[in-house]
Amino acid sequence: MDGLQTGRVFRRFVILGVISACAQQQVTTSPRTTATSSAISVQDLTSRLYAYADDSMMGRESGTVGNVMATSYLAAEARRLGLEPGGDNGSYFQEIRSTSTRFSPGSVPGSARNVVAVIRGSDPVLRNEYVAIGAHNDHVGIRRPAIDHDSLKALNKELTRLGAPFWDRSIPASRRAAARAEVRLNIDSLRRIRPARLDSINNGADDDGSGTVAVLEIAEAIAASPVKPKRSILLVWHTAEEKGLLGAKWFTENPTVPRSAIVAQLNMDMVGRGGAADITGGGPDYLQVVGSRRVSTELGDIVDQMNRARPRPFRLDYQYDANGHPERIYCRSDHYMYARYGIPVTFFTTGLHAEYHQVTDEAQYIDYEHLQRVADFVHDVAVHVANLDHRPRVDRPVGDPGAVCVQ
Ligand SMILES: [Zn+2]
């Protein structure tokens, strides 16, 4: 999720035990991914995400070597799964060039690139159309100065316990003071067991490691299925989402398949949390849906119908899709760049939480079963849309693609 476009600053009212030493000690150590099965499984999502959100990826910021490593991993996986390259010059990569002031790719070659792959459809005509599934491959890089992981974790827990959403500005001062005392208590007892653990890596396990590995798992499942969907499946792991949706902007302005042939885009960004401790109203069946009727009422209806038909439906939360919602979620992830061209979209997310854009967004805090069920659902919607005898009907007005997004 892109935090920069909101124009709002998250207020962190207390950080205890912050140690601004220059050490950049790594807190997580993780296994590398190995073999995977064709099913969308908790095991595969876990091994993939521990690898993808590992400290060695250095926060995957576009413009840095971390983004080269992350995208190299994705391309290697796409090759291993037998996906067709969908990027430039027969490769899996589409390098983006941007003049945005937020973006300084520096001298690292290929340090900001989309990863693009295709699973060819089975119908001789419909295979020329595409259902796009996306996530973003980048995150926000290194945090300077380093911070004590456990202090931050304790603070985040306390912020969430305040009841109101953690970004709520209305938390009273007295409540804040109580929270501060609570955090200090936790840290004091923790310090008797172990010293401070400095952490400087924004691992982005949820944002958007979760969506990224979900796309891989969906691709693996479809690539292994004996009967392919009628339409082709277009997989795009966008870069520079955190810089202002720049990878998705680049891809939709320089598409590697005809833009008019993309019949829908399903986006996943932060799909690995959403528990009761993460967000108001959260729980194991919690899922936010945003934008699904903003271009095509039919696509929104399909998402709802398919959810109701599941053995264990999600509790879909549409409140963040409301016109004028202050969080502007519809404008803050890659799907918007497709929607502005009249491509029906749906954005799936388990929502913001206290670990958002913090060094504590790590693989150990992901709910892998929740993530598995979201990936499974998006897989089913994608295959259903890819097998429709018509494209999802566009029945909402499409504005100027260059205009500023308004939710
Ligand atoms: Zn983000």
* Model pLDDT for residues 56-110, shown as the tens digit of each residue: 999 999 999 999 999 999 999 999 999 999 999 999 999 998 777 777 665 687 8
Provide the 8-state DSSP code for 220.
H
CA of 179 to the centre of ligand 1 (A): 26
With respect to residue 370, please indicate whether it lies within any of the assigned structural domains. yes
Predicted local confidence at residue 321, as pLDDT:
97
CA of 121 to the centre of ligand 1 (A): 32
CA of 115 to the centre of ligand 1 (A): 18
**Three-state SS string across 59-108, please?**
CCECCCHHHHHHHHHHHHHHHHCCCEECCHHHCCEEECCCCCCCCCCCCC
Predicted local confidence at residue 15, as pLDDT:
39
pLDDT in tens, 243-280: 999 999 999 999 999 999 999 999 999 999 999 989 88
Tokens of 340: 């502005």
With respect to residue 90, please indicate whether it lies within any of the assigned structural domains. yes
CA of 137 to the centre of ligand 1 (A): 10
From the CB of residue 310, how many other CB atoms can be counted at a distance below 10 Å?
A: 12
Burial 84-118 (b: 16+ CB within 10 A, else e): bbbbeeeebbbbbebeeeebebeeeeebbbbbbbb
Q: Name residues of the chain where pLDDT drops below 70.
A: 3-34, 104-107, 162-170
Token pair 């060094």 is at which residue? 359
First to last CA, the chain: 16
With respect to residue 248, please indicate whether it lies within any of the assigned structural domains. yes
The one-letter amino acid at 302: I
Predicted local confidence at residue 168, as pLDDT:
55
With respect to residue 260, please indicate whether it lies within any of the assigned structural domains. yes
CA of 293 to the centre of ligand 1 (A): 24
CA of 248 to the centre of ligand 1 (A): 14
With respect to residue 89, please indicate whether it lies within any of the assigned structural domains. yes
CA of 66 to the centre of ligand 1 (A): 15
With respect to residue 344, please indicate whether it lies within any of the assigned structural domains. yes
Predicted local confidence at residue 97, as pLDDT:
84
Burial zone of 39 (CB within 10 Å; 0-12 exposed, 13-18 middle, 19+ buried): middle
Tokens of 154: 């304790």
Distance CA 195, CA 151 (A): 11
With respect to residue 22, please indicate whether it lies within any of the assigned structural domains. no
CA of 367 to the centre of ligand 1 (A): 18
75 neighbors 212 (Cβ within 8 angstroms):
no
CA of 242 to the centre of ligand 1 (A): 5
CA of 358 to the centre of ligand 1 (A): 10
CA of 1 to the centre of ligand 1 (A): 4
Q: Count the domains in the chain.
A: 1
pLDDT in tens, 224-237: 999 999 999 999 99
Tokens of 233: 């499946």
130-136 and 262-268: which strand pairing? parallel
CA of 224 to the centre of ligand 1 (A): 31
- Indicate the Cα dihedral angle 16, 20, 24, 29, nearest 10°: 0
Q: Which residues pair with 84 in a beta bridge?
A: 118
CA of 228 to the centre of ligand 1 (A): 33
**Residues in the chain, total:** 407
Predicted local confidence at residue 280, as pLDDT:
87
Cβ-Cβ contacts under 8 Å for 250 (sequence gap 6 or more): 94, 96, 97, 98, 114, 240
CA of 406 to the centre of ligand 1 (A): 19
Predicted local confidence at residue 25, as pLDDT:
36
Burial zone of 189 (CB within 10 Å; 0-12 exposed, 13-18 middle, 19+ buried): exposed
CA of 214 to the centre of ligand 1 (A): 16
* CATH code for position 323: 3.40.630.10
With respect to residue 258, please indicate whether it lies within any of the assigned structural domains. yes
309: containing domain: 39-142+202-387
338 neighbors 262 (Cβ within 8 angstroms):
yes
Tokens of 95: 């390098």
